[in-house]
Structure 1
Amino acid sequence: MSVCHEVTNTSCVASRWPRDVRAPLYSLMALIILTTLAGNLIVIISISHFRQLHSPTNWLLHSMAMVDFLLGFLVMPYSMVRSVEHCWYFGEIFCKIHTSADIMLSSASIFHLSFISIDRYYAVCDPLRYKVRMSLLVSAVMIFISWSVPAVFAFGMIFLELNFKGAEEMYLEHIHCRSGCSIFFSKITGVLVFMISFYIPGSIMLCVYCRIYFVAKEQARSIKGTNPNLQTGLEVKAGVLQSKERKAMTTLGIVLGVFLICWCPFFVSMVADPFLNYTIPLALNEALIWFGYLNSTFNPMVYAFFYPWFRKALKIILLGKIFQKDSSRCKIFLDSSP
C-alpha cells in the first residue's frame, strides 16, 4: 500500500491507479483547465477592449469570466494533482488557502449566474425601465456582492475552522491524515454551504427564468389578440417575437441544464455525506468536484458564444486586428444593445 507521507501510520493512502490510468486523467483535467482559461480570457479581453461592449450587463459577464478564469488558474491545477494522486504535497497552510479559494470562486461564479438571471428578467419583463433599473451602479453592487459575500464566507469558515463545528472528533479519528486536503463539512456547515452557495442562488435562477418564460409567452399572446385592423404589422411583430422567444427559451434551458448538471450532484453529495457518516468514496467526491468545475468551463460558451457580438469580437481577436489603431472603437453590433 503506497502512502503520501513518510509517517505511514498517520499518512493518507495514495492513489493505486496505474500510469496508464493516471496519464489520461491528467490529460483530461489539463484540457478542462486550458479550455476554461482560454474561453474566459477571450470574454475578458473582448469586453475590456471594445468600448461598445462597456455596458452594465457585459460588466457582469466580464466579472463572472474573471471568477471562472481565476478558478481555472489558481484552483484547478492543484485540485488536479490532489484528485489523481489522492495526496496533497503543498503544505497545510496552502491547503486552507486552496480550499477557501475553491469555495469562494465556485460560489462567486454561481452568485454571478444568479445576478445575470435578474438582469435578464428586467431586460425581458420591464424593457422600458431596464436602463434605469440596471445602471452601472447597480451592476457594480451586484459584482461587489458576488465577490465579497463568498470571500468572507469561505475564508472565514475555513480559517476559523467552522467547517468542523460539531464533528471535530469524527474528523480527527476517521478522516484526518497527513498529506491530505479533503474538503470536510459537519452536518451544520454542510447544510449552510448548500443553502448559501447552491440552493438560494439556484432557486433565484429557476424562479426568475420561469417568470421570464411566462412573461414572454404572455407578450406573444397579447400581440396576437389585438385589433384585427392592425393584424398585418402585428403578425410580423408576433412572428419575430415568437422567434426570439424560442431562442431565449432554448438559451435559458441550456443555462439551467448546464448549471444543474454540473453543480447539483456535488452539492447533494456534499450535504448528504455527513448524514451518511462520511461513507461516500473519495474518488466519487473528486469526480463530482470536477463536474462542478465544468460549469466554469461552459459559462463562456453558454453566455458569450451565443451572442453574435462575441463571435465578431472573437474573429477580430483571432485575426490580430485587435492590435490595429482605434480597434477598440470597432462596431461590434448594430443595435443599441448587444
Structure 2
Amino acid sequence: MKPELIHNGTDGVNVMHPCFESSDLFLMFPSDPSVICILVYSVLAFLSIATICGNLLVITSVVYFKQLHTPTNYFILSLSLADLLVGVLVFPFSMALTVTSCLHQENLICKIRDVFDVSLCTSSILNLCCISIDRYYAVCQPLTYKSKITDQVALTMIIVCWGVAVMIGLSIVIGGFNQGTCEEMCSVTVILSNIMGPVLSFYLPAVVMSCIYLKIFFVAQRQVNSIQSSKSLSKVERKATKTLAIVMGVFLLFMSPYFFCVVFQPLFSDPVSIPVIETLNWLTLSNSMLNPFIYAFFYNWFRSAFKMIITGKIYQGDFGDSKLI
C-alpha cells in the first residue's frame, strides 16, 4: 500500500532509492543498475515467486481435496486468493513503480497499482475477520456452529468482504493519501482519506478480531477446565483456532508499522524518509508469502495435500476423495 508522497523537487531523490536516478522531473531505471539494486530486485522477485507458488498450493489443495471443503477452509481459500493476487499483481507493479517513482510520475498506472494494493490488503484483513467469526462459533457455540456457518453463509461473507475491499480501495485512492506535513497542502478530503481509510481497512477490523480472539481464549480456557471439555472443544478445533490466531498475529505484526506511519505522519514536522516508506511497504506485501508456510507447519492435512501436489501424484489419478493425514 502506498501513500501519495508530497515532496518538492528531485534533489537527493536519486540517492534515496538504489534503483532509480533522477532526470529533470522524472525518475528513470538506470541502464547499468548497481549491485545493490540487482540484489534488492532479486530478493523481491524471490518473494513474489514464493508468494505465488505457496498460495497456489493452498488454493489447489482446498479446491481439489473434498476433505478440505469446509467453511473454515473456504475463508482460507479466499485469503490465499488475495495473497496470490498480491504476488501476481502488486509485487510486479511495486517493483516497476516504487513509492519513489510514483512520487514524481503520478499517472494512471500508479493509481491502478494503488487500487490493487489497497483493495487486496483490505480484502486480506476482512477475510481474517471472517475467519475469527468462524472460529468464534466453532469454539464458543459448537452445538450450533454447523447450522450457523454453512457453505452458503461462508460464500456470502466472502463476497461481501471482496465488495467492501474494492470500494474502500477505490475510495482511498480517489481521495488521495498524504505522506508529509499538513500545512497548506492537506485538503479535508486528503485528511479524511489518511484517517478514515486506515481506520476502515485496518484498525477497526483489527480491533474486532482481537476482541473475538480474546473472547475465544477465555471461553476455551473455561471449557478446558470443565468436565465437558472433551465434548465441547475438540483437539482439532483448538488447533485450528490457535493456527488461525497465529496467522492473524503475524498479519498485524507486519501491517501495523505501515498503518501507524500513514495515520500519524501528517502530524509530525518532518515527513518520514522514502527508504523507510519503501521498507514498510514491502514489509506489508511480504506477509502474503507467510500464510502457506504457517498452514504447512501446523496442519498435517495441508502438508499431505502439498506433498501430493508437488510430487505430481494428483495428476496420476483421481485423489479428490483421498483421506488426508
The answer to whether TM tops 0.5 is yes
The match for 1:336 is none
Report the AA paired with residue 154 of structure 1: G
Counterparts in 2 of 1:256 and 1:53: CA distance versus 1, 3 Å: closer
The match for 1:212 is 216
1:53 matched to 2:45? The reply is no
1:197 positional shift: 1.2
Write out aligned runs for 1:120-199 (5 A).
120-158=135-173, 160-163=174-177, 170=185, 186-199=190-203
Report the AA paired with residue 226 of structure 2: S
The match for 1:78 is 93
Write out aligned runs for 1:311-330 (5 A).
311-330=303-322
1:14 positional shift: 7.8
The one of 265, 284, 289 aligned to 1:273: 265
1:186 positional shift: 3.1
For structure 2, list consecutive stretches of 5 or more residues without a partner in the other structure: 1-11, 15-19
Higher share of residues assigned helix: 1
1:28-70 C-alpha deviation (Å, 9 max, x unpaired): 2112111111110000111111122222221111111111100
For residues 299 and 286 of structure 1, the distance between their equivalents in structure 2, rounded to whole angstroms, comes to: 22
SS in structure 2 at match of 1:203: helix
1:117 matched to 2:132? The reply is yes
1:170-219 C-alpha deviation (Å, 9 max, x unpaired): 279xxxxxxxxxxxx93321111121111111111111111111111100
Q: Is the 8 A contact 2:97 2:110 kept in 1?
A: no
Q: Is the 8 A contact 2:67 2:324 kept in 1?
A: yes
The match for 1:87 is 101
For residues 324 and 259 of structure 1, the distance between their equivalents in structure 2, rounded to whole angstroms, comes to: 37
1:260-313 C-alpha deviation (Å, 9 max, x unpaired): 220010000011122225610111011001111122111222345422110111
Counterparts in 2 of 1:120 and 1:76: CA distance versus 1, 3 Å: same
Counterparts in 2 of 1:192 and 1:13: CA distance versus 1, 3 Å: farther
- RMSD of equivalent CA atoms: 3.3
Report the AA paired with residue 310 of structure 2: L
Report the AA paired with residue 218 of structure 2: F
1:153 positional shift: 1.7
Counterparts in 2 of 1:210 and 1:274: CA distance versus 1, 3 Å: same
| Higher alpha-carbon Rg | 1
1:151 positional shift: 0.4
SS in structure 2 at match of 1:186: helix
The match for 2:17 is none
Aligned residues: 303
For residues 91 and 189 of structure 1, the distance between their equivalents in structure 2, rounded to whole angstroms, comes to: 18
1:86 positional shift: 3.1
The match for 2:298 is 306
Counterparts in 2 of 1:252 and 1:60: CA distance versus 1, 3 Å: closer
The one of 233, 257, 262 aligned to 2:254: 262
Write out aligned runs for 1:242-257 (5 A).
247=239, 251=243, 254-257=246-249
1:156 positional shift: 3.4
